[in-house]
Amino acid sequence: MVDIIVCVKRVPDTSEAEVIIKDDKRAIKDADLTFDINEWDNYAIEEAILKKEALGGKVTVIGVGGEEVNEVLRRCLAKGADEAIRLTDPAFDGSDGYAIAKILSAAIKDLQYDFVFTGAQAGDDSYGVTGQMLAEILGIPHATMVTKVDINNGTARIRRELEGGLEEVDEINKPAVFCIQTGLNEPRYVSIMGIRKVSKKEIPVKAAADIGISADEVGEVGSMVKLEEFSIPPAGELAEMIEGTPDEAAGKLAAILKEKGAF
């Protein structure tokens, strides 16, 4: 049996969309963007469900944000998570990764769990810090960039992805936080049967007071990082258009690549 908590985030899909920065420069215009579960979290939830299916136990999924987050949480329930909790409070607005870690830890500390899975990073702000900070605050070990998880009698044997194609294998006792890298499984699709099961399921909501965290610990005031502004990098400064016939252009390109040490 293994009880796993998975922290998920709702993010905009900006892979093919045109990103427009709002006038105050501190956010992007998201009205025309589609939102979905963070890609890394999608692998994390799949891994947790696979472990539950193999070993028994329970998967609880937690998200921070307004009602719109329910859609992401329901998706996880439809795939096979057992419970979902949404953490929401006006005081949470403007939280950085550290403040989010504090919010998550406040909710998680009272729950029964063996392991906590987070995505290795989020596709929107790409900080990649929440999981590690969460583990620190909970006072438990963690592993980042996790590409394989085997759990046996409360001990996890995990593989981590390092620089330069190197891999590391660790044994970590429960409880621990694993920051899951993409590609370690094949996330299942949401099925009609799953949708049927969860569409009317109420998702409990907890505010700052319910998890015992004060307003000055979260939001902008409780954050370490203050977002100043977004900007789109100036285009073209480093770009060089190679002119000429295909033969000439290929020759010039090869010369440049050689000069830069690509070969």
Partner 1 sequence: MRFELTDEQRMIKSAAAELAQGFEEEYWIEKSRGNEYPREFYDELVKNGWIGIAIPEEYGGGGMGMLEMVLGMVEFGNQGADVGLMFVLTPVFGGLSVLKHGSEQQKEELLPKIANGDMRFCFGITEPDAGSNALKTTTTAGKRGDNYVINGKKTLISGIDLAQKMLVVTRTMPYDPKHKVAGITLFLVDVDSPGIDTSELDVGLSLLEKQYEVFFDDVEVPAENMLGEEHRGLIPLFDTLNPERMTGASNGVGFANFAINKAVEYAKMRQVFDVPIGSHQGIQFPLADSRAKIDAVELLLYKAAYLYDKGMPCGREANTAKYLASEFGFEAVDRAVQTMGGYGLTEEAGLMRVWKNIRLIKTAPVTNQLVLAYIGQHVLGMPKSY
- Alpha carbons 22 and 28: distance in angstroms, whole number: 5
Site membership for partner 1, residue 71 (CB under 8 A)? yes
- Alpha carbons 216 and 219: distance in angstroms, whole number: 7
Token digits for 232? 């789109």
- Residue placing its CB nearer to partner 1 in the complex, 36 or 161: 36
Site membership for partner 1, residue 36 (CB under 8 A)? yes
Binding segment toward partner 1, per CB under 8 A, in 145-153, 184-192, 224-232, 241-249: 184-192
Q: Which residue has the tokens 């057992």?
A: 82
The distance of closest approach from Cβ of residue 75 to partner 1 in the complex, given in angstroms and rounded to an integer, is 7
- Residue placing its CB nearer to partner 1 in the complex, 68 or 168: 68
Site membership for partner 1, residue 199 (CB under 8 A)? yes
Binding segment toward partner 1, per CB under 8 A, in 21-29, 44-52, 68-76, 132-140: 68-76
- Alpha carbons 111 and 100: distance in angstroms, whole number: 17
Site membership for partner 1, residue 195 (CB under 8 A)? yes
**Contacting partner 1 (CB under 8 A), which of 9, 10, 75, 86?**
75
Token digits for 249? 């252009």
The distance of closest approach from Cβ of residue 191 to partner 1 in the complex, given in angstroms and rounded to an integer, is 4
Half-sphere exposure of 194 (CA within 13 A, CB side): 14
Q: Is the bond leading into 175 cis (omega within 30 degrees of zero)?
A: yes
3-state DSSP call for residue 58?
Answer: strand
**Contacting partner 1 (CB under 8 A), which of 111, 190, 215, 225?**
190
Angle at 78 between CA 80 and CA 190, to 5 degrees: 105
- Alpha carbons 149 and 171: distance in angstroms, whole number: 10
**Contacting partner 1 (CB under 8 A), which of 171, 196, 221, 244?**
196
Query: By the criterion CB under 8 A, which residues form the site for partner 1?
Result: 36, 70-71, 74-75, 78, 189-196, 199-200
